[in-house]
Structure 1
Amino acid sequence: MEAVLPIEVEIPSMRVLAESKLKEAEWAKQRYEQLNLIDERRLTALCHGQCYQQRMARAFNKKVRPREFSPGDLVLRKVLHIAPDSRGKFPYKYDGPFIVKEVFDGGAIILNDMDGNENALPVNADTLKKYYL
């Protein structure tokens, strides 16, 4: 008796078919059926992949809390460390507080500082967090 891989039992190879002494027409018919099953298995794998992605997106989005700002709210702006800072390895992570002047669709927000001076560029809402006194 010869050892056969488990995969060869499910999808027979030429060696297994030769040992089982199938006729050539019967072998061709079985190979054709197996080729037709490949498309079905590929579609099944694609479906499973899409279901997995949807489950992961649903699990991730469950924990996301939307940030809603309205004019007059106090916020802190995240500092983007582009320029070198003199505080070494302990720089501030947030700057402010600022006052929300105007909120646009898509998450753009115009800020005023506490003195009432308007910042020229809008800021993305992802870089802000509410400030509570």
Structure 2
Amino acid sequence: MVKTPTGETPFKLAFRIETVIPVEVGMLSLKRTCYDKHRNNKGLKLALDCLPEVNDDTAQRMALYQERMTRYYNQRVNLKHFNPGDMVSRKVSQATKDPNKRKLGPSWEGPYKVVHYSRRGSYYLEDANGKPSPHP
């Protein structure tokens, strides 16, 4: 079964040859009826000679696939912009999480006041007491 991003089967990418599935071994198929050892060896040598091209094609397909997925994701992202003075809540991260509260602890903390906007999506905050947070 050919995977979409690469255009190749995982077996071919791992072992650099096409596979014959067990069903084809038990039944007559075109691969088995037209099998010729000499032609098969020549085909394997040709496949090894063409290996760099196959790898380059696969890499290009992967890059194109990742670009399409990035474009698809970025079309659906809605960025929120906050101005200095706005009140916000901050998501609790592993670093700021209270170790005693495990799963049932709060997932948001705050309120915080936006003090400075440094770059896209990065804000400096201060808590209700006026103590600034050390990292954006």
TM-score (norm 2): 0.55
* Distance across 2 between alignment mates of 1:90 and 1:31: 59
Equivalences for residues 29-40 of structure 1 within 5 A: 37-40=50-53
| Residue equivalent to 2:132 | 119
Q: Deviations over 1:17-76 (max 9, x none)?
A: 39xxxxxxxx98x88866654443333222222211111111122222223221011100
Larger radius of gyration: 1
Q: Please report how far the alpha carbon of residue 4 of structure 1 lies from its aligned counterpart in structure 2 after TM superposition.
A: 7.3
Q: Deviations over 1:75-116 (max 9, x none)?
A: 00112325322xx6432111111111112126442222334x
RMSD: 3.5
TM-score (norm 1): 0.56
- From 60, 74, 79, the counterpart of 1:61: 74
| Residue equivalent to 1:100 | 114
Which gives a bigger RCO, structure 1 or 2 (Cα 8 Å, sep 6+)? Answer: 1
Matched-pair identity in %: 24
| Residue equivalent to 2:21 | none
Amino acid at match of 1:66: L
> In structure 2, do the counterparts of structure 1 residues 73 and 98 end up closer, same or farther at CA, with 3 Å as the change threshold?
same
Equivalences for residues 1-133 of structure 1 within 5 A: 6=31, 15-17=37-39, 37-80=50-93, 81-85=97-101, 89-105=103-119, 107-115=121-129, 117-123=130-136
> In structure 2, do the counterparts of structure 1 residues 8 and 82 end up closer, same or farther at CA, with 3 Å as the change threshold?
farther
Q: Decide whether the 8 Å contact of 2:127 with 2:133 is kept in 1.
A: no
* Distance across 1 between alignment mates of 2:32 and 2:60: 23
Amino acid at match of 1:91: G
SS at match of 1:104: strand
Q: Decide whether the 8 Å contact of 2:126 with 2:133 is kept in 1.
A: no
Consecutive unaligned residues in structure 1, runs of 5 or more: 19-26, 124-133
* Distance across 2 between alignment mates of 1:56 and 1:7: 39
